[in-house]
Amino acid sequence: MLCVSNEKLVKYLAITLTIMVCITRISMAAGEIMLGISVLIGLVLFYKERNEIKLSNEIKGYCVAALVLFLCTVPSVILGENPLNSIREFLNMWIWRFSVFILIVFFIKKRLYLVNMLYAFLVVFGVDCLTALYQVVTHMTDRGWGFGSNMLAIAGIMCMVFPIVLVILCDKRFDRKLKHAAVFTLTCTIIGLLSNNSRGAWLTCFVVGPVAAWKYIIQHVKYILAFVLVIGVVAGFFISQPTYSSRLLSVTNTTTNTSNTHRLLLWRSCIDMYLDHPVGGIGLGNFQKIYENRYRYPDETEHLSHAHNNFMHLLAETGTFGAVGYIGFVLYFLITSFKSWRRHQDPYDILVFTTVLSFMGLFGQIEYIIDNSSAVRIFWFLLAVLLQMKQSDKQVVD
């Protein structure tokens, strides 16, 4: 591999990472293998280009914010009840999966590669959403999960993809190839949202979609009309479909809806765990066993394995340090990307904002999504590709 030119190695890296992100929800094992190959290629590239690697100050800042989050969970590894399990979880969550982001921002700079990587993912994910529809239509389930096995994982990914395809369609800076993919994927994502039946995903997309697209909506009459039409169609659909309208309204039901009541009990347990272990928590990766044995309230009869909430889960497992690190990470990404968007009106900035807001923030309040292997790798993939596309655009302008 050392004999292969750097240019070819970068191309191979782009291919293996794209295959990884496209198949990770179909086969976790195959996705892990492709990521392993990508890491090996990356190590060779790092050795060969170790004196030439350059990152923008913006990307350096994002990397530091991620590093701070990771370091803030170290006390939970040291002070937790099962350090070996916590070390394994730490390496998996923060090193292995984050390698996707590092490999892209370090080595993949050519816009053609970035466009093709995003294009391939969007098309495959569109098929993923159609698979969820097939599962519902054929009565395999009443809530489609697509290629994966977790219905909330595909919901979290849809929350990230929805604003991305909206902006690709509206902004002239995106390639025609991506616009064609966006038409297909937007249609499929809407179908997926209805087939998956996730209330959290509906509400998250209702927030992040307008946040991402409002600038384009207010500037063009046709977009205003399209927006009003879409809102009318969606409202009419929910009003005319009692099943969907009753499910949406059940969001506020904290008495008879077990999904809601069990989450509330679960979060009470998280606070109990935090109060007993305020500094470093119970230890990263130790939630399920300790919760079940010592902290589960009798009325929580589903015996849930995680907190269904990014913040609450990290609060319990990593204590004050981890919770502060998580909040700092989210705020840094949101504030930095939004400030940059205000200054430059760059579509990539608003998409970094909505990707973090939806995945780490809004949807992360009803699901512990940051420990879903496939979804997290897709999260880092999308962030890195968006940031690198922004850098490639700046180089063209310069």
Tell me the pLDDT tens digit for each residue of 6-56.
Answer: 899 999 999 999 999 999 999 999 999 999 999 999 999 999 988 888 899
Q: What per-residue confidence (pLDDT) applies to 395?
A: 65
In this structure, are residues 48 and 6 in contact, taking their beta carbons and an 8 Å threshold? Answer: yes
**Regions of the chain where pLDDT drops below 50:** 397-398
Q: Tens of pLDDT along 61-102?
A: 999 999 999 999 999 999 988 999 999 999 999 999 999 999
Q: What per-residue confidence (pLDDT) applies to 398?
A: 47
**Domain ranges, ordered by start, for the chain:** 6-255+298-397
Q: What per-residue confidence (pLDDT) applies to 10?
A: 96
Cβ-proximal residues to 395 (8 Å cutoff; 6+ apart), any chain:
none
- List the structure tokens of 119: 């294009």
Q: What per-residue confidence (pLDDT) applies to 74?
A: 97
Q: How far apart are the first and last CA of the chain?
A: 34
Q: What per-residue confidence (pLDDT) applies to 1?
A: 64
Please tell me the chain's helix, strand, coil percentages from 3-state DSSP, rounded to the nearest 5: 80, 0, 20
